[in-house]
Chain A
Amino acid sequence: MSVMIQQSRKIPTRTVDTICAYCGTGCGIKAEVSEDLLEVQGHEQHPTNFGRLCSKGSNLNETMDSDARLLYPEVDGARVSWDSALESTATRIRKIIDEHGPDAFAIYCSGQLLTEDYYVANKLMKGFIGSANIDTNSRLCMSSTVAGHKRAFGSDTVPGCYEDLDHAELVILTGSNTAWCHPILFQRIKAAKEAHPGRKTVVIDPRRTATCDIADLHLPLKPGSDAYLFNGLLAYLAEHGAVNTSFVDSYCNGFDQALAEAKASCGSVALVAEHCGLTVDTVDTFYRWFLETEKTVTTFSQGINQSSSGSDKVNALINCHLATGRIGKPGMSPLSFTGQPNAMGGREVGGLANQLAGHMELDNEQHRDLVGRFWQTDNLAPEAGLKAVELFQAVDEGKVKAVWIIATNPVDSLPDADSVRDALESCELVIQSDCMDETDTTPFAHIRFPALGWGEKDGTLTNSERRISRQRAVYPRSGEAHADWWILSRVAQHLGFKDAFNYQHVGEVFDEHARLSAFENSEQAVLRDFNLSGLTGLSREQYEQLQPIQWPVLEATTGTERLFGDGVFFTPDRKANFIAVTPRLPENSASTDYPLVLNTGRIRDQWHTMTRTGLSPRLSAHLPEPFVEIHPQEADRYLLKEGSIAQLKSKWGSMLARVKITDSIGLGQLFVPMHWTAQFASQGRMGPLVNPVVDPISGQPESKHTPVAITPYQGKWYGFLLNRQRIDKSALETIEYRVRATGQEHHRYELADSSQEADWDKLQSLLGEAGELLEYRDSTQQIYRAARVADGRLQSVLIIAPTTKLPERDWLASLFAKEQLEEVERRQLLSGKPPAGAADTGPVVCACFGVGRNTILNAIEEQGLDTPEAVGCALKAGTNCGSCIPEIRQLLTD
């Protein structure tokens, strides 16, 4: 894969080892830059991916569009110097803190940040502003896992590693569409399975996702019923004598209570089957396989985490691994797959509102003392801060008056997202750091900082298996963009915290982070799982050359693959905790008004809110529009047709989505992708629908379960527009339904409106004035199609019809890559269909029978015709008025 980079980025040829921008897998990338070309491929030596890359990573080069970048600092909509922006920011923050206290200020950041960025943000807030009002979008992602780990292990430690997937004989994927969301790990599981026949894979997911391709058993359980399943498993294991009593007795607490609760709620397979909406056989098979297979890895993801009882689900699952002693040993462990590239790094620095720093806790006096001394501050945040959902509620209530949003898009991703929008609208000071110029959060920002993007950033991040890797800059910064750690520390200095934030190089931040992790970290002092003592005091050169390594790192170059295999945990008594779980169903259940349950999630080729992947034509081709998956019977019930548009409504908001009918989803359920924003779709944001319900322990929202209603969208017209240039947003604003997607050398707009008839002339004006106009009209059927062609090159195509039965977009879209339209393509253009069999008949020779030059030439050639009469017999050409016979004769002579 290679792509042109903007001129200004011309730099000498070089190869850079770095890390992918996307999910928590953390794949190594070899990026080759030569002049203005960037080539990206999987790094063969990286222990995560061994050279492989998924579709998103492979197309990183298509997302480097400088036009979309935020390049200069802005204050109140005007470009300003960095000094001026930093000073304004500090002044305004200071004023709010002085008037309303430190808790009136908050930072909402992101798992997209590198560890060093994250570290500085957290230090600034919790150490010097003196408030813990810093939370992150990791709250939406895996905070339930953090809570579950801490309750069970006394620390937020991932016990296993990816290599366990190579050894495991049973891999359970629960609440994880691994095939689409962690494709490289999926490939790894698949490869191991293929190499070792007899290994089994179980997929637990209400939907029959692409991941089920490798499933020997799929449990399409009732949404939210996971805790019943794992409680039932614990009871089953006990009942069948499969509990590793020596491990439990020696290394664990709380087994009896947990088992009692499990038995009470899920004492029999039949009961579990009923709770989960599964057959007894299915449940029984799953339990039996678990029981029989020592080497079992259970991977889990948002399907477990995004729940009002997410923490309990995590613990119900971990309980089963503790009960069997299958933890931290090769091929056996619970293994959380994180969503974001640096969700783990964020956890390590303490980026969540209820953490302190370096896996230490705000409410632990020893920890507070240690960190306070290390940071040399006496202004540590006194207590836990506001978690994401609460934080924006506090903004709405005016308790938080200034919020700094870094590398995330809460207007789209948080539950009840329209309320978040309203909250920001009324917020006194919104600061935004982003690499992209236009996001849904942008309109509310008073101050905007241009941040470095992937390819420019430099630092470290940690993947799902605790592996710290260096992400390195591939080319120089765009415009005046700066690293987030730089922006944060400069603001800190302007706020008066000069010495504590006097970093000159990113390596200095890493070193401080490593030293904090090692600071008084021992059995005798304050023991913590997170320890980078082996990575302290690195020289610039050593930091630059740092190779991927799994923490804890007690000695340089020696990482740690697994923890807890020895039964020693990080609780005060060093024993693991069973957690007694009382299964709870999702907080809001389906009702008469909202009879269906909405599930949300990722799709294969998009990432988060599409600020990057939405720029790539290749990635936008697979699923170019927000859609809703619905079971055929439900589609019948709600009068929805494949390819039509549906309106989804919940108590909190609504959205429009294209209907995809599939029996891969169960009755009573719907699924929508999480990615679309107002930048791409007028009403395709799923955030506004999602119920603002959170797990009481982790604060993670229940994004996978919201009661909704669905109705057909009654468009007066439907259509699409393909245009070589991006169309000015304001020109489309009056159209109710609109979705933009990036295509090869064009932009695609799906359009519809239910409020007014299509105004053909007005719609035609969207095509601009340049080039030659082609038009097709069928007034009775209300079909209008138009196109513009300039210098033989397709510029735009518009298709309008009263129904969703529109031509396929593919062929039309493919024409934009052509330098010149062929004549036959131009003639068929407005049919939307390619010429049949590429039968280009050529210019008409016989007008009476419509026989073209090429047809005649072909017939002469193929049938060996030698007289005009023979041509007449074969094709009828020339047999009526005969005026073309001379031309036919000429063709015969030629």
Chain B
Amino acid sequence: MAQTNTETNKTNSLPLKLVVIGNGMASIRTLEELLQAAPDAYKITVIGREPFGSYNRIMLSPMLAGETTQEEIMIHDRPWYEEQGIELLAGDEYEALHIDRSNHQVQLRNGDKINYDRILIATGADPIRLPVPGADAEGVLCFRGIRDVEAMLERSRDGQHAVVIGAGLLGLEAANGLVKRGMNVTVIHRARYPLNRQLDKEAAQLLQRELESRGIEFRLGVNTHSILTKPDDDGNQEVISLKLDSGEILPADMVVMATGIRPNIELAHNSGIECNHGILVNDCLQSFDPAIYAVGECVEHRAVTFGLVEPLFEQARVCANHLASHGVASYTYLKPATRLKVSGISLYSMGDYDLSPDKDGDDIELLTLKDFSAGIYKKLVIKENKLVGAVLYGDTVDGPWYHELMRDERDISRFRDGLIFGQEPEDAA
């Protein structure tokens, strides 16, 4: 049926109707690519839960840290959508509740139904809340959107103590922002060192040292027992402290949970679209329903789900290519490099950075460079003369080059000696 529609519309030269569910970075990048590739192919409606135009979510950390403002991080304000002839439906009342795939309609919370020829789902991901007592109290926050930043800023004005659960990228960025806002911040983390999913121990320790020097305290190798609360004037439970399973109690005017994200697949799942952890898509970013595409943190592609911006942009490019009926792009996943958006800290990790000859066999080779006093640590992981992973701390200039070498599976044996110093002889290319 969708096929018939397409053909009909093509012959009539009428634009197809594209409904974009989600107004985040993935969907906007897809639209930008699409508008460039086929400006008149679709009549577009964008549905967004937050009542803004689109903004650069990556910049929430600098915003929290007071290094930039909301205006600075906006990607597109409302006039842009008008200029592009896009209908923007932003706000809770427009939340898409269901996709009626038989009738090619999207049902919104306000009762409206919009027709579609194609759908692009980019509903992103939701933060995971730990299921501990007190987790739903006032003052227990996540770090996901502008509203979360606003809530944190609000609380930081009067509160003294913040506890951040999770020393991942987001948790550390939140902690850094809150310290800069004048709070006493303690980060608690299950693993023995921060960013254990992105760094090895040496780099993590350098990072910890740097963050500690900025005033962040760490409790590592601990779990949250519960969040202790007291009723506020309105009778709501308000966070007062956090208890660790060790029994230690940390005072808290705010608890930020940064313990990971979960793809937001509720709409897709409820609409009968095939999902696993995320919405299952093929190499064209097409779901099991050929009229429905999906990009971003809500998708699962070849058993991988996503949380960093680079793969999203690549998905956007591929997806737009197919939406524009060019049909030549194919999405392949390259594990992106990790960076921390904390000003003054350079950190870069990629690939299988944590392999070692001791636990992973003799074909794993390590190159290391340490200048701890200068805050520099680099480790490159080599396997069969190819770079397969790296951790860089303090000097990340060569990160992108390493990423290219890894992606292109270049044989590095000819310039191995200068590799960690960023030296590639001209004749090695």
Contacts and interface: CB of A to CB of B under 8 A. Distances in A.
B420 A844 contact: no
Interface string B416-429: 11101101000000
A603 B346 CA distance: 51
Contact of B373 (A772, A780, A882): A772
A780 B365 contact: yes
A776 B401 contact: no
Interface stretch (A224-232, A375-383, A451-459, A829-837): A829-837
B371 A772 contact: yes
A783 B58 contact: no
Given A827-B376, A880-B310, A847 B396 contact: yes
Interface in A866-888: 880-883, 886
Interface stretch (A305-313, A698-706, A848-856): A848-856
Residue among B348, B369, B372, B376 facing the most chain A CB atoms (10 A cut-off): B369
A775 B369 contact: yes
B313 A880 contact: yes
A881 B399 CA distance: 15
Contacts of B416: 778, 781
Contact of B369 (A789, A830, A841, A880): A830
Interface in B41-96: 56, 58-59, 62, 67-68, 72
A773 interface: yes
Residue among B56, B348, B376, B417 facing the most chain A CB atoms (10 A cut-off): B417
A847 B313 contact: no
A874 to B, nearest CB: 16
Contact of B423 (A836, A841, A848, A882): A836
Interface string A818-850: 000000001110110100100001001001111
Specify the main secondary structure of chain B where it touches its partner.
mixed
Contact of A850 (B58, B59, B372, B400): B400
B2 interface: no
Interface string B179-220: 000000000000000000000000000000000000000000
A852 B368 contact: no
Nearest to B380: A778
A881 B58 contact: yes
Interface in B362-420: 365-374, 376, 382, 395-401, 416-418, 420
Nearest to B377: A775
B98 interface: no
Contacts of B367: 776-778
B72 A886 contact: yes
A524 interface: no
A850 B399 contact: yes
B357 interface: yes
B309 interface: yes
B421 A852 contact: no
Nearest to B371: A774
B373 A881 contact: no
Nearest to B368: A777
A801 to B, nearest CB: 9
A773 B341 contact: no
Given A779-B366, A831-B423, A844 B397 contact: yes
Given A772-B373, A776-B368, A777-B367, A828 B421 contact: yes
A886 B62 CA distance: 11
A850 B395 CA distance: 10
A63 to B, nearest CB: 37
B225 interface: no
Contact of A826 (B59, B310, B366, B374): B374
B68 A886 contact: yes
A850 B405 CA distance: 14
B339 interface: yes
B373 A789 contact: yes
A775 B368 contact: yes
B400 A844 contact: no
Contacts of A772: 371-374
Interface residues of B, number: 40
B321 to A, nearest CB: 19
Contacts of B376: 827
Nearest to A801: B417
A271 B365 CA distance: 65
Nearest to B382: A780
B58 A779 contact: no
B372 A773 contact: yes
A852 B67 CA distance: 20
Contacts of A886: 62, 67-68, 72
Given A850-B397, A883-B59, A783 B417 contact: yes
A833 B371 contact: no
Interface string B323-357: 00000000000000001010000101000000001
Contacts of A850: 396-401
Contact of A882 (B58, B365, B370): B58
Interface in A726-783: 772-781, 783
Nearest to A771: B373
Contacts of A826: 371, 374
Interface in A178-200: none
Nearest to A847: B339
Contacts of B370: 773-776
Contacts of A833: 418, 421, 423
A841 B420 CA distance: 16
A848 B400 contact: yes
Contacts of A778: 365-367, 416-417
A63 B416 CA distance: 42
B182 to A, nearest CB: 22
Given A777-B367, A831-B423, A847-B346, A883 B417 contact: no
B381 to A, nearest CB: 11
A844 B72 contact: no
Given A850-B398, A850-B399, A883-B341, A777 B371 contact: no
Residue among B68, B370, B396 facing the most chain A CB atoms (10 A cut-off): B370
Contacts of A844: 346, 396-397
B205 to A, nearest CB: 15
A855 to B, nearest CB: 10
A881 B62 CA distance: 13
Interface string A571-614: 00000000000000000000000000000000000000000000
Interface string A47-74: 0000000000000000000000000000
B149 to A, nearest CB: 15
Contacts of B417: 778, 783, 831
Residue among B58, B310, B339, B374 facing the most chain A CB atoms (10 A cut-off): B374
B344 to A, nearest CB: 9
A773 B421 contact: no
Contact of B366 (A774, A777, A852, A883): A777
A350 B421 CA distance: 65
Contacts of A881: 56, 58, 309-310
Contacts of B397: 841, 844, 850, 852
Nearest to A783: B417
Contacts of B372: 772-773
B400 A830 contact: no
Contacts of A789: 373
Given A778-B365, A780-B365, A882-B56, A847 B371 contact: no
A527 B370 CA distance: 79
Contacts of A849: 400
Given A773-B372, A774-B370, 9 more contacts: A773-B370, A777-B367, A828-B423, A833-B421, A844-B397, A847-B339, A847-B346, A849-B400, A883-B56
22 contacts: A775-B370, A776-B370, A776-B420, A777-B368, A778-B416, A778-B417, A779-B365, A826-B371, A826-B374, A831-B417, A833-B418, A844-B396, A844-B397, A847-B348, A848-B339, A848-B400, A850-B398, A850-B401, A881-B309, A881-B310, A883-B56, A886-B67
Interface of B: 56, 58-59, 62, 67-68, 72, 309-310, 313, 339, 341, 346, 348, 357, 365-374, 376, 382, 395-401, 416-418, 420-421, 423
